[in-house]
């Protein structure tokens, strides 16, 4: 079976999501435990009345996909994530989600698994897990989460899908008899937005019995992910009552969910039994009063400010502030400032930033907004000063680093852009955009070898080895650069070619 076919199946598994299946419990779920955590400060003893009955991870040798295969598929998925217009490319939102996810993952039973989280521009309430620890979250789900523990409960659930290796176990059980049907369904789902009629035709070719077997098996996965996710949520220090609370939100918000996808592939309403199972479980667990982080509120405000028309967002924020209809006043003023900046109302945005500077605690999101505002005003000196102060206070904030480097490029200071990126790059060694900035800076300095080299490293971090090799070959042929620089380029080019050959061999093995 070719890798692309496994990827198609992986994408179907992605829709085996927190918001996607009506779980049909065959027996009441047993009250579960907090997993024993090695060296984790949030670890606690297992209460005597809670039974440790997490499901067995299973023997990897008995599955169709090995962990190495899953990682290969993950790289294929992330290659699409890096260039997809449907993926939100916002460092602040992504970094918040990644930080939240890492906190939960570190509290899971499988601390060796690497997780990558990304945000999908989609108003539907959904999230999904894919092989290799790739987890996507819709903007609609983030906005529907009333508390941070609710959002964390979704991520914990999806982490459960990954650590329990549900895709590999599904393939081990299904073998190859339903691959064609699964592929038909996924292809229909993927084309549904662009061409609903084509999607309907594709779905007509799928076997109803194969579909039913798939759904039956994934309901078992959903119950298992609920159990694992609840333990992860508890061990990470969140309020476990966030999970049944979000189930209720999910049931209420998805019953009449709209979308262009075929109706039976849309999110199914949750039934009362699944909510009751989780609710009964959390009743045996200690109560925790957990305060939402300010970043949670700011991220949600940022998403609201970027949604639909800017004026509509402005009107909503202003009304909320006037009527005092909010859970966090700071986030409302922050969202209003962003919406005003989006509409180029610089005076209005300045007034909101001034309010935030007086009333809000020091925060990287707000400092970054203040710097962006000065850039929009074309106050280059003020922008430089704001970025310098903000970076000194929040040296690891990626969006601030981006903005400061872009400011240097815009003001024709490529050397300072290079210096800044090189100072901060070790914080985010896998970030392709840092290399994109370097490529632009070297181009401004007419340094071709280093420009092509940086662009190659960017493509490599976007999981595109062919493009990386192409750019590195340009670097190898560049007329500038000293012997040492050419030696580095040649060595890296050989490494890229070796990795590409390994990819081909892996594809042949899977085929």
pLDDT tens, N- to C-terminus, the chain (511 residues):
444 444 444 454 444 444 444 333 333 332 333 333 333 333 333 333 333 344 444 444 345 667 777 777 788 778 888 888 889 999 999 999 999 999 999 999 888 899 999 999 988 888 888 878 989 899 999 999 999 999 999 999 999 988 888 766 666 555 444 434 433 443 343 334 334 444 445 444 444 445 445 544 466 777 788 889 999 999 999 999 999 999 887 776 555 444 443 332 333 346 677 788 888 889 989 888 899 999 999 999 999 999 889 999 999 999 999 999 999 999 999 999 999 999 999 999 999 999 999 999 999 999 999 999 999 999 999 999 999 999 999 999 999 999 999 999 999 999 999 999 999 999 999 999 999 999 999 999 999 999 999 999 999 999 999 999 999 999 999 999 999 999 999 999 999 999 999 888 876 765 5
- Tell me the Ramachandran region of residue 175: left when phi exceeds 0, alpha when psi lies from -120 to 50, beta otherwise: left
Q: What sign for the dihedral angle of Cα 475, 477, 483, 487? A: positive
Question: Which residues lie across from 138 on neighbouring strands?
Answer: 120
**Residue 129: which H helix or E strand, with range?**
strand 127-130
Tokens describing residue 301: 């405000």
CA nearest to 300, candidates 96, 21, 131, 67 = 96
Euclidean distance between CA atoms 244 and 221, whole angstroms: 17
Q: How big is the CA angle at 395 (ends 238 and 404), to the nearest 5 degrees?
A: 120
Tokens describing residue 233: 């949520």
The residue assigned the tokens 């050989």 is: 494
Kindly give, in sequence order, each residue whose CB lies less than 8 Å from that of residue 404, ignoring residues fewer than 6 positions away.
371, 387, 388, 391, 420
8 A C-beta contact, residue 137 and residue 152 = no
CA nearest to 88, candidates 155, 139, 135 = 139
Euclidean distance between CA atoms 328 and 354, whole angstroms: 17
pTM recorded for the entire structure = 0.81
Q: What is the pLDDT of residue 455?
A: 98
DSSP 165: T
Q: What is the pLDDT of residue 511?
A: 55
Q: What is the pLDDT of residue 63?
A: 53
Q: DSSP characters for 369-411?
A: HHHHHHHHTT-HHHHHHHHHHHHHH-TT-HHHHHHHHHHHHHT
Query: What does DSSP say about strands 127-130 and 134-138: parallel, antiparallel, or unpaired?
Result: antiparallel
Q: What is the pLDDT of residue 64?
A: 63
8 A C-beta contact, residue 318 and residue 354 = no
CA nearest to 98, candidates 146, 45, 147, 155 = 155
Tokens describing residue 156: 């914990």
């Amino acid at each position: 079976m070719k890798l692309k076919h496994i990827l198609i199946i992986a994408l179907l598994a992605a829709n085996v999501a927190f918001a996607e299946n009506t779980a049909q419990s065959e027996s009441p779920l047993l009250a579960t435990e907090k997993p024993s955590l090695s060296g984790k400060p949030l670890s606690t003893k297992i209460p005597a009345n809670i039974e440790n009955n997490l499901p067995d991870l299973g023997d990897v040798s008995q599955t169709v996909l090995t962990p190495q295969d899953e990682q290969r598929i993950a790289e294929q998925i992330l290659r699409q994530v890096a260039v997809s217009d449907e993926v939100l490319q916002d460092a602040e939102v992504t970094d918040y989600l990644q930080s939240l996810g890492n906190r939960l993952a570190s509290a899971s039973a499988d601390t060796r698994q690497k997780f990558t989280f990304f945000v999908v521009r989609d108003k539907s309430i959904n999230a999904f897990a894919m092989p290799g620890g790739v987890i996507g979250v819709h903007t609609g789900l983030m906005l529907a989460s009333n508390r941070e523990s609710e959002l964390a409960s979704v991520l914990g659930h999806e982490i459960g899908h990954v650590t329990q290796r549900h895709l590999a176990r599904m393939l081990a059980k299904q073998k190859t008899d339903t691959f064609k049907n699964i592929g038909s369904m996924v292809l229909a789902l993927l084309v549904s937005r662009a061409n609903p009629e084509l999607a309907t035709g594709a779905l007509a070719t799928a076997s109803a019995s194969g579909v039913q077997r798939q759904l039956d098996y994934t309901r078992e996965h959903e119950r298992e992910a609920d159990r694992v996710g609840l333990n992860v949520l508890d061990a990470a220090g969140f309020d476990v009552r966030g999970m049944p609370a979000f189930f209720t939100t999910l049931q209420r918000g998805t019953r009449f969910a709209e979308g262009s996808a075929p109706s039976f592939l849309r999110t199914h309403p949750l039934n009362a039994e699944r909510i009751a199972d989780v609710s009964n479980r959390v009743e045996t667990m200690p109560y925790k009063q957990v305060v939402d982080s300010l970043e949670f509120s700011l991220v949600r405000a940022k998403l609201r400010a970027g949604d639909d028309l800017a004026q509509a967002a402005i009107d909503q924020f202003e009304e909320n502030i006037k009527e005092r209809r909010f859970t966090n006043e700071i986030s409302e003023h922050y969202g209003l400032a962003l919406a005003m900046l989006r509409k180029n109302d610089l005076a209005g945005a300045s007034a909101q930033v001034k309010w935030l500077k007086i009333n809000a605690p020091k925060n990287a999101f707000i400092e970054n907004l203040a710097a962006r505002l000065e850039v929009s005003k074309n106050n280059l000196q003020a922008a430089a000063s704001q970025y310098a102060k903000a970076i000194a206070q929040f040296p690891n904030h990626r969006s601030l680093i981006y903005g400061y480097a872009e400011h240097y490029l815009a003001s024709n200071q490529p050397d300072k852009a290079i210096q800044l990126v090189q100072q901060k790059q070790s914080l985010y060694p896998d970030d392709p955009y840092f290399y994109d900035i370097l490529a632009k800076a070297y181009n401004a300095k007419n340094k071709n070898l280093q420009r092509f080299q940086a662009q190659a490293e960017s493509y490599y971090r976007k999981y595109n080895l062919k493009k990386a090799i192409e750019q590195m070959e340009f670097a190898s042929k560049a007329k500038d650069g000293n012997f040492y620089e050419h030696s580095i380029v040649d060595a890296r080019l050989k490494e890229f070619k070796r990795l590409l050959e390994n990819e081909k061999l892996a594809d042949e093995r899977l085929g």
